Structure 1
Amino acid sequence: MGSYAVFLRGINVGGINIKMADLRDALKTCGFTDAKTLLASGNVVLSSTLDAAAVKQECEKCLRAAFGYEAWVVVLDAARVAQLVDACPYPEDDRSTHTYITLSSDTAVLDDLEAAGSALESQVQQRLGPEALAWLAPVGGTLDSPFSKVSAKTKFKAATTTRNLRTLIKVRDAAAALTAG
C-alpha cells in the first residue's frame, strides 16, 4: 500500500468551487477510504494499492463524475513530496519573498515553462525534478511577478498547478503520518 499526495488544479478559483468535505466524501466513495484534505486549495493525501498513474486516473474519473468538471490532478508518492521539499533551495519563510513550487505531470510543459522563465530578467527559479519547478516571488506581488505572469499563460496553466512551499511541507507531513499510521 502506497501513500500519495494528490494536487487538484484550478479548484476554488475561477468558478470551480468544491468544499473539502465534499471532495473527501467523493474520494471515499470511489474507494480512497482514508482520503484527507489539507487547506482549501485541493490538496489530498490518501493511500492505495494502485500506482501513482492509476491513482491519477481514478481520482480524475471520480472528480469528473462527482463534480461535473474536467478534473486534472498531479499525483506524487509521499517519498517524492519529501524529496521535492528537501531539494528546494529557497526559504520556507522569508520577509521579502514567497517560495512556490509548480507541479505538472507533463515534463515537456515544465521544460517550456522553465525555458520561458529563464528568459526573464531577475527571476529566480530552479528545476527540482521532471515534475517540479521552484520559484520565488516578492511578498505582496506574486501575481504581478514576471514568472507568475508567464506561468498563467494558457499553455502552461492548463497542465500545471502551483503550491507555496509551506503547503507542500504540510502535505509532506500529512502523507508521512498516513504512511506511519
Structure 2
Amino acid sequence: MGSYAVFLRGINVGGINIKMADLREALKAAGFADARTLLASGNVVLASPLDADAVKRECEKCLRDTFGYDAWVVVLESARLSDLVAACPYPEDDKTTHSYITLSSDTGVLDELDAAGAALEENEQERLGPEALAWLAPAGGTLDSPFSKISAKAKFKAATTTRNLRTLLKVRDAAAELAASGA
C-alpha cells in the first residue's frame, strides 16, 4: 500500500468550487477510504495499492464524474514529496520572500516553463526534478512577480499547479503520518 499526495489544479478559483468535505467523500466513494484533505486548496493525502499513475487516473475520473469539470491532478508518492521539499533551496519562512514549488505531471511543459523563467532578468528558480520547480517571489508581490506572470499563461497554467512551501510541508507531514499509520 502506497501513500500519496494528490494536488488538484484550479479548484476554488475561477468558478470551480469544491468543499473539502465533499471532495473527501467523493474520493472515499471512489475507493480511497482514508482520503484526507488539507487546507481548502485541493491538497489530499491518501493510501492506495495502485501506483501513482493509476491513482492519478482514478482521482481525475472521480472528480470529472462527481463535480463535472475537466479535472487535472498531480500525484506524488509521499517519499518523493519529502525529497522535493528537502531539495528546495529557499526558506520556508522568510519575511521578505515566499517560496513556491510548481508541480507538473507533464515534464515537457515544466521544461518549457523552466526555460522561460531562466530567461528572466530576475531569475530566482531551481529545478528540483522532472516534476518540480522551486521559485521565490517577494512578500506581498507574488502575483506581480515576473515568474508568476509567466506561469499564469494558458500554455503552462493548464498543466501545472503551484503550492507555497509551507503548504507542501504540511502535506508532506500528513502523508508521512498516513504512511506511518499503515493505511
TM-score, normalised with respect to structure 1 = 1.00
2:166 is aligned to 166
Provide structure 2 residue ranges, at least 5 long, that are not aligned to the other structure: none
Provide structure 1 residue ranges, at least 5 long, that are not aligned to the other structure: none
1:6 is aligned to 6
| Residue aligned with 2:95, SS | coil
The one-character-per-residue Cα deviations of 1:58-82 (angstroms, maximum 9, x if unpaired) are: 0000000000000000000000000
Query: CA offset at residue 123 of structure 1?
Result: 2.4
Output aligned runs, 1:1-181, within 5 Å. Answer: 1-181=1-181
| Residue aligned with 2:5, SS | strand
Cα distance between partner residues in 2 of 1:69 and 1:76: 22
State the identity %.
Answer: 80
The one-character-per-residue Cα deviations of 1:102-161 (angstroms, maximum 9, x if unpaired) are: 000000000000000001011200000000000000000000000000000000000000
Cα distance between partner residues in 2 of 1:167 and 1:18: 19
The alignment's C-alpha RMSD in Å is: 0.3
| Residue aligned with 1:34, SS | coil
Cα distance between partner residues in 2 of 1:72 and 1:59: 9
The one-character-per-residue Cα deviations of 1:27-51 (angstroms, maximum 9, x if unpaired) are: 0000000000000000000000000
Specify the code of the residue in structure 2 equivalent to 1:54: A
Paired residues in the alignment total 181
TM-score, normalised with respect to structure 2 = 0.98
Moved over 2 A (4+): none
Cα distance between partner residues in 2 of 1:109 and 1:64: 23
Cα distance between partner residues in 2 of 1:40 and 1:121: 34
Cα distance between partner residues in 1 of 2:162 and 2:140: 17
| Residue aligned with 1:126, SS | strand
The one-character-per-residue Cα deviations of 1:9-38 (angstroms, maximum 9, x if unpaired) are: 000011100000000000000000000000
Cα distance between partner residues in 1 of 2:82 and 2:161: 18
